């Protein structure tokens, strides 16, 4: 009971470390989401500005501008999603390397040797000290 305050202080210190770590993680995650949203809205703004310019100067229709805008945004998001798969490709490559290394290793035994073949084996089997 005398160490109660000391143990409580140590526990609070360890909680502070976890709290700081959680705050850092949330800030990094929020910065990532915020920056991706910023880029998305900048793309929308650029598409609307340039689309309006094309409608006025090059006789584009509203439908064609919308189609081009959505195609470009969908393609850019798809390219961003592909980058997540690179980790899976790297893991697969490492796994394939280990598997091929196992397949191509030099064996210490001759797998094609049929060994000694016994043609006339006979004997008796005796079971001792077996209890049920």
How many structural domains are present in the chain?
1
Q: What tens-digit pLDDT sequence spans the chain (132 residues)? A: 577 888 888 888 888 888 888 888 888 888 878 888 888 888 889 888 998 898 889 888 889 888 988 888 888 878 777 776 777 787 888 888 888 888 888 888 887 888 888 888 888 888 888 887
The answer to whether residue 11 sits within a structural domain is yes
- The pLDDT value given to residue 37: 83
The answer to whether residue 113 sits within a structural domain is no
Distance CA 34, CA 78 (A): 19
Residue 49: give the domain boundaries.
4-103
- The pLDDT value given to residue 19: 82
The answer to whether residue 60 sits within a structural domain is yes
The answer to whether residue 126 sits within a structural domain is no
Kindly report the backbone phi and psi dihedral angles of residue 93, in degrees, each rounded to the nearest multiple of 5, phi listed first: -65, -40
Model confidence, pTM: 0.45
The answer to whether residue 111 sits within a structural domain is no
- The pLDDT value given to residue 68: 86
- The pLDDT value given to residue 1: 57
Distance CA 65, CA 55 (A): 8
Distance CA 13, CA 33 (A): 31
- The pLDDT value given to residue 3: 77
């Amino acid at each position: 009971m005398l160490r109660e305050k000391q143990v409580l202080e140590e526990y609070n210190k360890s909680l502070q470390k976890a709290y700081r770590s959680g705050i850092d993680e949330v800030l990094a995650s929020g910065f990532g989401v915020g920056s991706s949203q910023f880029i998305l809205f900048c793309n929308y703004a650029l598409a609307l500005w340039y689309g309006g310019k094309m409608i006025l100067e090059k006789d584009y229709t509203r439908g064609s501008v919308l189609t081009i805008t959505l195609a470009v945004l969908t393609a850019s998001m798809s390219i961003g999603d592909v980058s997540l798969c690179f980790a899976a490709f790297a893991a697969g490559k490492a796994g394939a390397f280990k598997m091929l290394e196992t397949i191509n290793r030099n064996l210490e035994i001759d797998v094609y040797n049929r060994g000694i073949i016994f043609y006339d084996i006979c004997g008796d089997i005796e079971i001792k000290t077996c209890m049920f």
